[in-house]
């Protein structure tokens, strides 16, 4: 079974508009973390934002916010005021067993975001 | 530059040859990870080290793959008897470990392997 699902292979957004990238996950572990990474065409993986399963508030980092709905097991990334430089692949990822030596991050298949001028 | 570095950035090899990649993590990071990424896919976990101990190993890591981190600093990933299916980007990442509340992993630029 897929642990991380990203149902949008490709998305388009107008420059300066907001966009939501979907991510759902599957785990029975009560202690886990969710990440979003950006991978531009240059290939480097860039960390964007992190949400822990016990965090009470949704994470925000500048123009990035994570819409965490624990009961629905979703962790959507919201990018506000899109910029041309936001065009990239975006990966949702999950790490189970926080605080233990078990440390394996599972990545989703990714969503390709294109920002239109 | 104090980020994660990987060497070489590109490697072209013939099927059946052995290849070795190196990863230098951020100096104060005690966890090091290897991933494989094929075109159009997300990274797939291969293995990780806590200092010099290899604590987790994916089923993807066949007997032809071996990874080491002998002194808890840099790591090497060796692929023996390469096959065309091994063609991929091999990514290395590091993190602080249990002390890191964000559990963020910092990635290197990757080594792109092409097996002909």
Whether residue B102 is predicted with pLDDT greater than 70 in this model: the reply is no
Q: How far apart are CA B48 and CA A18, in angstroms?
A: 36
Contact A102 B98 (CB under 8 A): no
Cα dihedral B105, B109, B113, B114 sign: positive
Q: Which residues of A touch B (CB under 8 A)?
A: 4, 33, 35, 37, 43-47, 50, 91, 93, 95, 98-99, 101-110
Distance CA A78, CA A63 (A): 8
For A45, the closest of B48, B56, B107 (CB atoms) is: B107
The answer to whether the Cα torsion of A80, A84, A85, A91 is positive or negative is positive
Whether B33 contacts B104, CB under 8 Å: no
Find, among B116, B114, B115, B109, the residue nearest to B9 by Cα.
B109
> Are the beta carbons of B110 and A98 separated by less than 8 Å?
no
pLDDT digits (tens, 9 = 90+) for A43-57: 889 999 999 999 889
User: How many angstroms separate the CA of residue B15 from the nearest CA in chain A?
Assistant: 25
- In B, minimum Cα distance to A48 occurs at B104
Determine the pLDDT at residue A100. Answer: 75
Angle, vertex CA B104, rays to CA B41 and CA B70, nearest 5: 90
Rounded to the nearest integer, the mean pLDDT of chain A is: 93
> pLDDT by residue (tens digit) across B34-76?
999 998 899 999 999 989 999 888 887 888 999 999 988 999 9
Model pLDDT for residues A6-45, shown as the tens digit of each residue: 999 999 999 999 999 999 999 998 889 999 999 999 888 9
Angle at A104 between CA A101 and CA A109, to 5 degrees: 165
Asked if residues B96 and B112 have their Cβ atoms less than 8 Å apart, the reply is no
Structure-block tokens of residue A46: 């860039």
Q: Provide the shortest C-alpha distance from residue A14 to chain B (in Å).
A: 23
Distance of CA B79 to the CA centre of its chain: 11
Q: Do B41 and A93 touch (CB under 8 A)?
A: no
Of B33, B42, B109, the CB nearest to A44: B109
pLDDT of residue B103: 73
């Amino acid at each position: 079974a897929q642990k991380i699902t990203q149902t949008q292979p490709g998305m388009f957004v107008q420059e300066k508009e907001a966009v939501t990238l979907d991510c759902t996950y599957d785990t029975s572990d009560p202690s886990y973390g969710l990440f979003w990474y950006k991978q531009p065409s240059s290939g480097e993986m860039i960390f964007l934002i992190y949400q822990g399963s016990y965090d009470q508030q949704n994470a925000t980092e500048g123009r990035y916010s994570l819409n965490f709905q624990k009961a629905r097991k979703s962790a959507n990334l919201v990018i506000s005021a899109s910029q041309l430089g936001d065009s990239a692949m975006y990966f949702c990822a999950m790490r189970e067993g926080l605080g233990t030596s078990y440390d394996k991050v599972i990545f989703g298949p990714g969503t390709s975001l294109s920002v239109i001028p | 530059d104090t980020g994660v570095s990987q060497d070489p950035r590109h490697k072209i090899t013939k099927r059946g040859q052995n290849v070795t990649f190196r990863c230098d993590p951020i100096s104060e990071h005690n966890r090091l990870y290897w991933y494989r990424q094929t075109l159009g896919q997300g990274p797939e976990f291969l293995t990780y080290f806590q200092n010099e101990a290899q604590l987790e190993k994916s089923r993807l890591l066949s007997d032809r793959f071996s990874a080491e981190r002998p002194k808890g600093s840099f790591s090497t990933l060796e692929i023996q008897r390469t096959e065309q299916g091994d063609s991929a980007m091999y990514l290395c990442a590091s993190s602080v470990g249990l002390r890191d509340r964000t559990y963020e992993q910092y990635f290197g630029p990757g080594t792109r392997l092409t097996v002909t």
